[in-house]
């Protein structure tokens, strides 16, 4: 057993877990943050993606101990109160989800893609091909991806506007 200290969605937490515990199980089973999903056992589906210190990672492919001392953001931590994050709003407006199983991982990966391209100075000009390519680690069984890609491109515009306003 080890004590793992994290900042999750801005709140300091400390959990006592077996060393073999994966980060995703700390989030779901110990902190009751069940928005982060587990969709595979091969690290391929991306349903478990969260942000660790600002980067999109697969929480099913990380021991809790590896995350000790880090700051983790989950799907529960991105809205501002009742106001959805622009990526969440764009998924809703563009019908970017059906069953919703892949959606938390899609949204966390998509936010990472948009932030990365904004910060790399491409002026937020994400194109469809880039979005499709960079969502390769997230599998959706329902939508056929078209509306997910539309949502990400829509959100890229909204996030740029939001960034400029700040």
Partner 1 sequence: MYQTTYHRASSVDEAASLFGKSSEAKFLAGGQTLLPVMKQRLAGPSDVIDLSKIKDMIGVEAAGDTLTIKAATPHYDVATSDAAKKAIPALAYLASLIGDPAVRYRGTIGGSIANNDPAADYPAALLALGATVKTNKRSIPAEDFFQGLFTTALEDGEIITAVSFPVPAKAGYAKMRHPASRFALTAVFVAQTKSGEIRVAATGASQSGVMRVGAIEAALKANWSPSAIDSVSIPASGLLSDIHGTSEYRANLVKVMAQRAVAAAG
Please spell the DSSP secondary structure of the chain, one letter per residue: -EEEEEEETTEEEEEEE-TT-BHHHIIIIIS--TTS----SSS-S-TTEEEETTEEEEGGGSBHHHHTT-EEE-GGGSSBTTB--HHHHHHHHTT--SS-SSHHHHHHHHHHHHHHHHHTTSTT---HHHHHHHTTT---SSS-SHHHHHHHHHHHHHHHHHHHH-
Q: How far is the CB of 133 from ligand FES (least distance, A)?
A: 18
User: What character string, x for contact with partner 1 (CB under 8 A) and - otherwise, covers 4-43?
Assistant: --------------xxx-x------------------xxx
137 lies in the site for partner 1, by CB under 8 A: yes
Contact residues toward ligand FAD (CB under 6 A) are 43-44
Distance CA 108, CA 29 (A): 20
Would you say 68 or 93 has its CB closer to partner 1? Answer: 68
**Cα–Cα distance measured from residue 36 to residue 84, given in angstroms and rounded to the nearest whole number:** 17
C-alpha to C-alpha distance for 159 and 87, rounded to whole angstroms: 8
Q: Which of partner 1, ligand FAD, ligand FES, none lies near 9, with the C-beta cut-off 5 to 8 A by kind?
A: none
Residue 127 contacts which entry, ligand FES, partner 1, ligand FAD, none (Cβ below 5-8 A, type-dependent): none
Q: How far is the CB of 142 from partner 1 (least distance, A)?
A: 18
Select the binding partner of residue 45 from ligand FAD, partner 1, ligand FES, none (C-beta < 5 to 8 A, by kind).
ligand FES
Residues 109-148: x/- map of binding to ligand FES (CB under 6 A)? -------------------------------xxxx-----
Question: Which residues are near partner 1 by CB under 8 A?
Answer: 2, 18-20, 22, 41-44, 46, 49, 55-58, 60-63, 65-66, 68, 109, 112-113, 116, 120, 134, 136-138
């Amino acid at each position: 057993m080890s004590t793992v200290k994290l900042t999750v969605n801005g709140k300091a937490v400390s959990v006592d877990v077996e060393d073999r515990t994966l980060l995703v199980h700390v989030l779901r089973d110990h902190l009751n943050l069940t928005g982060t999903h587990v969709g595979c056992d091969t690290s391929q589906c991306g349903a478990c993606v969260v942000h660790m210190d600002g980067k999109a990672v697969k929480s099913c492919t990380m021991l809790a101990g590896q995350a000790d001392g880090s700051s983790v953001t989950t799907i529960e931590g991105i809205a501002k109160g009742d106001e959805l994050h622009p990526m969440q709003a764009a998924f809703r407006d563009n019908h970017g989800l059906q069953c919703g199983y892949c959606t938390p991982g899609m949204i966390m990966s998509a936010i990472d893609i948009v932030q990365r391209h904004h910060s790399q100075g491409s002026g937020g000009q994400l194109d469809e091909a880039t979005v499709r390519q960079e969502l390769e680690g997230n599998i959706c069984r329902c939508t056929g991806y078209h509306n997910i890609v539309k949502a990400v491109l829509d959100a890229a515009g909204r996030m740029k506007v939001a960034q400029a306003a700040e």
